[in-house]
């Protein structure tokens, strides 16, 4: 395929070199004459393992050209990959002026081009940027409509500096966002021969994937460093601890706990986060990440309260009180915290949780806890799901399977349903449905 690449930085130069290596013809465009001169001579404009060799090979084979002329690039290519920078502004937001300017320039050139051309955003941008900034710029300057007059999509990169060539050919996944199947297939085709999971999705979701990746990587570095500082202060080898930690691919390095939803609770997580903070404080070590964990957890409970407040109805049915399904454990359950907030605000609350109802009737630690610590909440418990009839708002608190059937039986399509766990896709089709963070 004949491709043009706008921006000869880390992403653009590596992408150009690898596309040429795979047999594609590439025209690289930049406003910096030094970068253009380097590429034209087969030299790398940056320090990156193997990149110089790949570029030299591409230029020698006639598959890589470099130019200052956007018109030359658009005229002689079928697909353009935008790889220009998206630096931070002073307030932390992205400066999309370079991307927008390139889109306007490409759009102006497409106005007089009769052949179908596809534009692919490879620059890192927050969700909504493609449709909010780039697509309007392209359509306004070209006079054409995306998906009809030109192809439009995005293809986030997952390249690490110093191993970018290796990462290009061994990616964790290939993600393509597009509004139409033709564009998605065309973009995905440039990766023929690369063995990796392939995902075609909506443009905004593809944008979001890149940010989830980078934020998670930053979180991992920060977590490991914070944990390491605490362990060192207590005379413990942090590398040995984390080596053993990483052996757990069921809970630690896995999908576990990475589904957006409600706050964490139970007898372990809140207590142990507080304990590790206290251990750090005893050694005068600051723990901003662990501090934020507890703050974020509290904010998620407050978010649920705000969603209920916004509806404006007073009769609330809460399905689930234990911190997770299949247990009667109420220790530090965020649903107990939520119930307390609602009662303090004067809501008429009914709570259905068969595990808790039975625990209340049986002798044991939970019965004692309910009677002594949660007597005000205990009076809100109902024995049967039918006892929640007449409630104005239904809140799904934990993923007990029966809750979906109960909600669909007791409500109509317009009844407000606030889902804290994303229980059932059929519920999401209802007009009154709202998820806490989806």
Let me know whether 181 and 324 are in one domain: no
Q: What's the rounded mean pLDDT across residues 78-97? A: 97
Let me know whether 12 and 140 are in one domain: yes
84: containing domain = 2-207
The CATH number that applies at residue 42 is: 3.40.50.720
> What is the tens place of the pLDDT at every residue in 294-333?
999 999 999 999 999 999 999 999 999 999 999 888 889 9
C-alpha span between 278 and 295 (Å, rounded):
16
Boundary-marking domain end, from 174, 207, 240: 207
Please check whether residue 351 lies inside any domain of the structure. yes
Of 38, 103, 134, 268, catalytic: 268
Please check whether residue 302 lies inside any domain of the structure. yes
Boundary-marking domain end, from 207, 240, 265: 207
Is residue 13 over pLDDT 80? yes
Q: What share of the chain is helix, strand, coil (3-state, %, to 5)?
A: 45, 15, 40
Q: What's the rounded mean pLDDT across residues 368-376? A: 75
Let me know whether 321 and 428 are in one domain: yes
Q: For 138-142, 315-319, 361-365, which range has the lowest pLDDT when averaged over its residues?
A: 361-365
Q: How many domains does the chain have?
A: 2
The number of beta carbons lying within 10 Å of the beta carbon of residue 126 is 16
Let me know whether 187 and 318 are in one domain: no
Q: What's the rounded mean pLDDT across residues 33-42? A: 96
Q: Within its chain, how far is the Cα of 300 from the centroid?
A: 17
Please check whether residue 110 lies inside any domain of the structure. yes
Q: What is the full DSSP assignment across 46-93?
A: S--TTHHHHHHHHHHTT-EEEES-HHHHHHT-SEEEE-----B-TTS-
Q: What's the rounded mean pLDDT across residues 405-423? A: 97
> What is the tens place of the pLDDT at every residue in 348-361?
999 999 989 886 66
Q: Identify the CA nearest to 27 among candidates 35, 37, 16, 18.
A: 16
Q: What is the mean pLDDT of the chain?
A: 95
Please confirm, yes or no, whether 268 is among the known catalytic residues: yes
Angle at 108 between CA 102 and CA 114, to 5 degrees: 120
Boundary-marking domain end, from 159, 174, 207: 207
Is residue 364 over pLDDT 80? no
Residues in the chain: 438
The answer to whether 317 and 347 are in contact (CB under 8 A) is no
pLDDT given for residue 361 in this prediction: 65
Q: What's the rounded mean pLDDT across residues 247-276? A: 96
pLDDT given for residue 375 in this prediction: 80
Let me know whether 199 and 301 are in one domain: no
Is residue 390 over pLDDT 90? yes
């Amino acid at each position: 395929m004949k491709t043009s690449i706008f921006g000869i930085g880390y992403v653009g130069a590596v992408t150009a070199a690898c596309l040429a290596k795979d047999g594609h013809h590439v025209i690289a465009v930049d406003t910096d004459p030094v970068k253009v001169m380097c590429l034209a001579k087969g030299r790398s404009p940056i320090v990156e393992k193997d990149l110089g060799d790949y570029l030299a090979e591409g230029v020698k084979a006639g598959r890589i050209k470099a130019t200052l002329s956007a018109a030359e690039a658009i005229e002689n290519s079928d697909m353009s990959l935008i790889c220009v920078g998206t630096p931070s502004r002073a307030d932390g937001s992205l400066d999309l002026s370079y991307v927008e300017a390139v889109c306007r320039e490409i759009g102006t050139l497409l106005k007089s081009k009769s052949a179908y051309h596809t534009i692919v955003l490879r620059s890192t941008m927050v969700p909504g940027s493609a449709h909010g900034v780039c697509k309007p710029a392209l359509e306004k300057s070209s006079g054409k409509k995306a998906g009809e007059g030109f192809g439009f999509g995005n293809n986030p990169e997952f390249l690490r500096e110093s191993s970018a060539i290796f990462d290009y050919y061994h990616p964790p996944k290939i993600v393509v966002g597009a509004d139409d199947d033709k564009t998605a297939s065309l973009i995905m085709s440039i990766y023929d021969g690369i063995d990796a999971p392939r995902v075609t999705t909506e443009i905004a979701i593809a944008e979001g994937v890149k940010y989830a990746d980078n934020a998670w990587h930053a979180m991992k570095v920060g977590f490991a460093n914070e944990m390491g500082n605490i362990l060192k202060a207590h005379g413990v080898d942090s590398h040995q601890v984390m080596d053993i930690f990483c052996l757990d691919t069921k809970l630690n390095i896995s999908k576990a706990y990475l589904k957006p939803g409600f706050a964490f609770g139970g007898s372990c997580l809140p207590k142990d986060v507080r304990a590790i903070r206290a251990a750090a404080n005893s050694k005068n070590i600051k723990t901003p990440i662990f501090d934020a964990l507890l703050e974020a957890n509290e904010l998620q409970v407050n978010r649920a309260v705000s969603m209920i407040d916004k509806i404006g109805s007073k009769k609330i049915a809460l399905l689930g009180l234990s911190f997770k399904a299949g247990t009667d454990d109420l220790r530090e359950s965020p649903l107990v915290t939520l119930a307390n907030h609602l009662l303090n605000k004067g809501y008429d609350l009914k709570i259905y949780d068969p595990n808790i109802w039975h625990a209340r009737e049986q002798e044991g630690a939970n019965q004692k806890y309910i009677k002594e610590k949660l007597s005000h909440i205990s009076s809100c418990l109902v024995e049967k799901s039918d006892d929640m009839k007449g409630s104005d708002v239904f809140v799904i608190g934990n993923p007990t399977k029966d809750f979906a059937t109960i909600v669909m039986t007791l409500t109509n399509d317009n009844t407000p349903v606030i889902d804290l766990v994303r229980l059932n896709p059929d519920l999401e089709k209802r007009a009154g449905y709202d998820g806490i963070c989806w």
